[in-house]
Structure 1
Amino acid sequence: MPVLTRLVPSPLVVDIRAGALNDLGLILADQRISASGRIAVAVSGGSGAALRQRLAPQLPGAEWYSVAGGTLDSAVLLAEQMRSGHYDAVVGLGGGKIIDAAKYAAARVGLPMVAVATNLAHDGLCSPVSTLDNDAGRGSYGVPSPIGLIVDLDVIRQAPHRFVAAGIGDVVSNISACADWELSKRETGEQVDGLAVAMARSAGELLLRHPGTIADDSLLVALAESLVLSGIAMNIAGSTRPSSGACHEINHAIDILYPTRSAQHGEQCGLGAAFATYLRGDLGLTGQMIEVLQRHGLPVTAGQIGFSDEEFVAAVHYAPQTRPGRFTVLEHLDLDTPAIRDAYNDYVKHVSSCS
């Protein structure tokens, strides 16, 4: 009888613990990522640059590149600068924008990439996607996922609360995204990858049920591990489907309609997930999401991220245009503006009843 199996793309090394950065050089050598020590390190002008002085002695063969934010231009420039370096690997050291730029640049020059996170704001840490600002707004680009992920809890504790809590919103939104995927299977016959759903939903439910706060190491570890699982789920699916449904459509719409006012990615996705779950009629799960988001200081209404009700309604109405061909509860209900307004007003009342 034949044994059927499939290979699951995943990082070669995942190191999540206090003090992990103290062993960065050893990790790269021991895992055969860079035995020679010839690496390119991409850093931001903020948290990444502040760590350069600490890390430079253990990376004597590294060349350091300052990256000006998460834009397509900065990622392309980084790739051009690295072309003649003959490196073994690229290390992206910083927040999500720097890691996304480093992933894109590494893909252009054909090098493996190691993500060293200084915050846990969203699941781009381990995903096969780079989200970069471009002349048309913001685009998502397919790239190989990082070959390694290093999260030093001592560094994460120094990140702004908002940049860590946002990651919780992003991971919890997996639950809504998976529900949208299963809705599409019922309504359109779209194929669902059960393994991808199992990993993405498990990551979301772990954060939904974790009793701790981001002051607790146990929650930081759970969040970092959940971000890894989300990234692997997207690798398995070959798309962002297990982590991106109506929640992310709403997030993208906010970014497009209000580019200078948008909040953290995970903040918007968490709000989008709670509202999308309400639209699907699952009031019990909506209440759970609202409780968890509020407990971590994340927004559950438009006003809490600086938007009027009408602006949020406009974003929800526009949202299906951000992912043509993706079927979610928004496409299923196909609500007009007055209907969305009524649904959002009812949702706000439900939020009040849960508080």
Structure 2
Amino acid sequence: MPLLARTVNTPLAIEVRRGAVAELGRLLADRRISGGGDVAVVIGPGQGERIAELIRPGLGRADLFTVTGGTLDSALELGNRLRQRSYDAVVGIGGGKTIDTAKYAASRYAIPMVTVATSLANDGIASPVASLDHDGGRGSYGVHIPIAVVVDLDFVENGPDRQTQAGIGDALSNINAVADWELSHRVRGEPIDGLAVALARTSAVALLNHPGTITDDAFLTTLAEALIMGGLAMAICGSSRPASGSCHEVSHAIDLLLPGTASHGEQVGLGALFCTYLRGDTAGFDQLRTALRRHGLATRPSDLGLTDDDFVKVVAHAPATRPDRYTILEHLAMEPEQIRARLADYVDAVGDDK
């Protein structure tokens, strides 16, 4: 009998709104995730007291765990603490480091995970991947996707603008990642997943064309949905392909050669624009440049404090960061002097900030 459909794991609930943290107990009960509030709530060190006050009325039986977050050691330590009691779910509340720590610990001991995002810096809020530091480097670890995803716009609005700008760069870079995947499909016959492509690209295009700014709830909701859909696209195809292409290779190379340059989202946004130029997509380049500038993101290496020499080295090294992945950088296989020439043309094409 032919396979006529497939089963796709998705969260039971996705909510993007204000006041979500305070009503977390109701959400968990309504979705039958936890009727009695027997959950482990994982929070970061920054906003712990405020979050504890907000959730206490609805989750009086919850245990609170504060983590420094972002490292494999902290995730393993959290996992050991979670084994001391039976929980209905692990609820990670905070930014990417806290959520990734909670995702890894929950997956390790097969406990359902609920993401409550208080910032929109990257697509980790719903992805099947946890990025954790270990032994001086950063590794990506496969985890279960969250059983529910909640974004509280009150916290997002009050957080640093730079975190939200980084999320915009990360979400928009999906357009470039999908173009790289399609290139590999045409040139090398790499299998492509149309559903994953549709989720990643359409949500990113919606953000690209949205007229609002980070001060608008409607825009923040579209950003949150784009990041969530990017994460689900990865879960659907079992790979980071729909959200990670040449743009991410550039960012990984920056992290390796020039650590601390900028946030992940800022770096992949710049990488996506440069690689879109290399691909010869004039219309896509113009649209992406306009969107990055409108939201205060980098469009030239110098915007991130990188010299031309720095960026040439970064682009030359980028393919080595993902040797299994075929992108526009592998396709062109440029030597340093070729990269330098293309970079000069790119900077001219970008123009000034006006």
TM-score, normalised relative to structure 2 = 0.97
1:190 equivalent in alignment to 2:200: no
> CA-to-partner distance for each residue in 1:17-70, whole Å, 9 max, x for gaps?
122222100111111111231111111111344322222232111111111131
Alpha-carbon distance between aligned partners in 2 of 1:346 and 1:242, rounded to the nearest angstrom = 28
SS at match of 1:138: strand
> CA-to-partner distance for each residue in 1:177-218, whole Å, 9 max, x for gaps?
000000001111101101110110001101111111011111
1:64 equivalent in alignment to 2:71: no
Change (3 A) 1:48 1:77: same
Letter in 1 for 2:36: S
1:320 equivalent in alignment to 2:312: no
> CA-to-partner distance for each residue in 1:321-342, whole Å, 9 max, x for gaps?
1112100001000111111111
> CA-to-partner distance for each residue in 1:226-267, whole Å, 9 max, x for gaps?
1111111111111000010001111111111222x2311111
Q: Percent same amino acid at aligned positions?
A: 53
Instruction: Tell me if structure 1 keeps the 8 A contact 2:277–2:346.
Output: yes
Equivalent residue number for residue 305 of structure 1: 304
1:104 equivalent in alignment to 2:104: yes
SS at match of 1:157: helix
> CA-to-partner distance for each residue in 1:261-308, whole Å, 9 max, x for gaps?
231111111111001101101122111111101110111111212222
Equivalent residue number for residue 283 of structure 2: 284
Equivalent residue number for residue 89 of structure 2: 89
SS at match of 1:41: strand
Equivalent residue number for residue 145 of structure 2: 145
SS at match of 1:167: helix
Query: Quick check: 104-113 or 39-48, which moved more?
Result: 39-48
Change (3 A) 1:48 1:289: farther
Instruction: Tell me if structure 1 keeps the 8 A contact 2:293–2:353.
Output: no
Alpha-carbon distance between aligned partners in 2 of 1:218 and 1:353, rounded to the nearest angstrom = 30
Query: Quick check: 308-317 or 236-245, which moved more?
Result: 308-317
Equivalent residue number for residue 264 of structure 1: 263
SS at match of 1:213: coil
Equivalent residue number for residue 275 of structure 1: 274
Change (3 A) 1:3 1:108: closer
Query: Quick check: 32-41 or 172-181, which moved more?
Result: 32-41
TM-score, normalised relative to structure 1 = 0.97
1:53 equivalent in alignment to 2:41: no
1:3 Cα shift? 7.1
1:352 equivalent in alignment to 2:354: no
Equivalent residue number for residue 75 of structure 2: 75
Letter in 1 for 2:266: E
Alpha-carbon distance between aligned partners in 1 of 2:210 and 2:169, rounded to the nearest angstrom = 13
1:251 equivalent in alignment to 2:224: no
SS at match of 2:158: coil
1:76 Cα shift? 1.0
Alpha-carbon distance between aligned partners in 1 of 2:349 and 2:43, rounded to the nearest angstrom = 43
Unaligned residue ranges in structure 1 (runs of 5+): none
Instruction: Tell me if structure 1 keeps the 8 A contact 2:23–2:55.
Output: no
1:147 Cα shift? 0.8
The runs of 4+ residues in structure 1 deviating greater than 3 Å are 47-50
Query: Quick check: 162-171 or 44-53, which moved more?
Result: 44-53
Alpha-carbon distance between aligned partners in 1 of 2:136 and 2:345, rounded to the nearest angstrom = 35
Equivalent residue number for residue 14 of structure 2: 14
Letter in 1 for 2:17: R
Equivalent residue number for residue 228 of structure 1: 228
1:5 Cα shift? 0.6
Equivalent residue number for residue 4 of structure 1: 4
SS at match of 1:42: strand
Alpha-carbon distance between aligned partners in 2 of 1:299 and 1:63, rounded to the nearest angstrom = 41
SS at match of 1:21: coil
Alpha-carbon distance between aligned partners in 2 of 1:191 and 1:167, rounded to the nearest angstrom = 28
1:111-130, aligned counterparts within 5 Å?
Answer: 111-130=111-130
Alpha-carbon distance between aligned partners in 2 of 1:326 and 1:270, rounded to the nearest angstrom = 19
Change (3 A) 1:2 1:326: closer
> CA-to-partner distance for each residue in 1:146-177, whole Å, 9 max, x for gaps?
11111111121101111112111111101000
Query: Quick check: 299-308 or 119-128, which moved more?
Result: 299-308
Alpha-carbon distance between aligned partners in 2 of 1:304 and 1:74, rounded to the nearest angstrom = 34
SS at match of 1:101: helix
Instruction: Tell me if structure 2 keeps the 8 A contact 1:48–1:93.
Output: no
Alpha-carbon distance between aligned partners in 2 of 1:328 and 1:136, rounded to the nearest angstrom = 27
Alignment: residue pair count: 354
